[in-house]
Amino acid sequence: MMALLQRVRHARVEVAGRVVGEIGPGLLVFLCAEHCDTEAQGDKLLAKILKLRIFSDAAGKMNHSVQNIDGQGQLGGLLVVSQFTLAADASGGNRPSFTTAAAPDEGRRLYAYFVKQAQAAHPVVQTGQFAADMQVYLVNDGPVTIPLRVSPPDCTPR
């Protein structure tokens, strides 16, 4: 399972002109499940995201996590957006292949699982809409953009 994190001042997702998810300061999490991912990879990825120290302290050093973005107990938001295109492989030409992405039903199941776990672990969680044509608006803070990947050890490419 992989994620692309963007530290944001605020972010929102719209579907057909309607806001479906919105946060203030926090993390925009683009999430992609691959074909052999399990809930265990989702749990590991979520734990890493929640503890990742990428928010600045008073000295400007990245010392705080989304669970305490200012060192004073302020919670940051998580905006979790499904994005299978993170699995793109463009090594074989100019048209990307997405063969490592999970099948749609499995991707939906793992995305829903990840969101449910995130909501249980963190009080400020918003989402996009799985498989929808979404418009994502954000103000990247920094900018700080970090890719994360947690892969099962026994995964063989299909």
Q: Report pLDDT digits (tens) over 113-146.
A: 999 999 999 999 999 999 999 999 999 999 999 9
In 23-144, which residue ranges form alpha helices assigned H by DSSP? 39-51, 104-121
State the chain's mean pLDDT as an integer: 95
Q: Which residues pair with 139 in a beta bridge?
A: 10
pLDDT given for residue 62 in this prediction: 96
Task: Round to whole Å and give the CA distance between 55 and 116.
Answer: 24
pLDDT given for residue 151 in this prediction: 78
Q: Which domains can be identified in the chain, with CATH numbers?
A: 2-149 (3.50.80.10)
Which member of 85, 99, 135, 145 is catalytic?
A: 85
Give the tens place of pLDDT for each residue, 57-71.
Answer: 999 999 999 999 998
pLDDT given for residue 23 in this prediction: 98
pLDDT given for residue 153 in this prediction: 62
Tell me whether residue 130 is one of the annotated catalytic residues: no
Which member of 6, 41, 83, 126 is catalytic?
A: 83
Best CA proximity match to 81, nearest among 155, 5, 140: 5
Tell me whether residue 100 is one of the annotated catalytic residues: no
Tell me whether residue 119 is one of the annotated catalytic residues: no
pTM of structure: 0.94
Which member of 6, 30, 41, 84 is catalytic?
A: 84
Give the tens place of pLDDT for each residue, 69-81.
Answer: 998 999 999 999 9
- CB atoms near residue 55 (< 10 Å): 25
Best CA proximity match to 22, nearest among 86, 67, 71, 77: 77
E-strand stretches of 2-154:
2-15, 18-23, 26-32, 55-56, 62-64, 77-82, 125-127, 134-149
Q: Is pLDDT above 80 for 157?
A: no
pLDDT given for residue 10 in this prediction: 98
Q: Is pLDDT above 70 for 91?
A: yes
Q: What is the mean pLDDT of residues 84-104?
A: 94
End-to-end CA gap in the chain: 15
